[in-house]
Amino acid sequence: MVSHFPPSNEHLDDQMVKMEVNLDDIPGEWLGYVMDLLFEAGANDVFYTPIYMKKNRPGVLLQLLCSQEHINTMKEILFKETTTLGIRYYPLTVHRLERMFRKVTTEWGEVTVKEGIYEGHVVQRAPEFEECKSIAQLHNIPLKKVYEMVWKALGNEN
């Protein structure tokens, strides 16, 4: 099962679903693993929110976003890997920006910058986190230094 890749042009996707599960009877350490499984199986996003449940129980609200075609896959993981007896979900619309990738050159090599384009204008520019992290580790420099160098390189190109 591969991840769901939305198209790279700006678009409205009305085939998306948010799925939710309340959990008060599962250890937190299992939930880190469940998140990985859901991403691997094609979830577009997975995240946890702390909630206060009945009987003074600190619980966790698991939320995930997926396309409708992945609903059954997600349900299977949630039922098998968590302790829930019920899963709720509802449709939603996602407006995604056009995504483009460019390279900028720093003194430590190239870094990819992901751009988000809204109605034809670049509104987002995000250096790829994993690449910056690799440079930081390789050169033994603070991560924020790497980001600063990328911002500088980006600035000079404009």
Q: Smallest distance, Å, CB 134 to a second copy?
A: 11
Residues 48-67 that bind a second copy (CB under 8 A): 48-61, 63, 65
Q: Cα-Cα-Cα-Cα dihedral of 77, 26, 64, 41, to 10°?
A: -30
Q: Which of 34/103 has CB closer to a second copy?
A: 34
Say how many residues make up the chain.
158
In contact, 81 and 34? CB cutoff 8 Å: yes
Q: Smallest distance, Å, CB 135 to a second copy?
A: 12
Burial label for 32, CB within 10 Å (0-12, 13-18, 19+), is exposed
In contact, 97 and 124? CB cutoff 8 Å: yes
| Structural tokens at position 105 | 């050159």
Residues 113-142 that bind a second copy (CB under 8 A): 114, 116, 118, 123-126, 129, 133, 136, 142
Examine residue 101 and tell whether it contacts a second copy (CB under 8 A): no
Examine residue 2 and tell whether it contacts a second copy (CB under 8 A): no
Q: Which of 99/102 has CB closer to a second copy?
A: 99
Examine residue 104 and tell whether it contacts a second copy (CB under 8 A): no
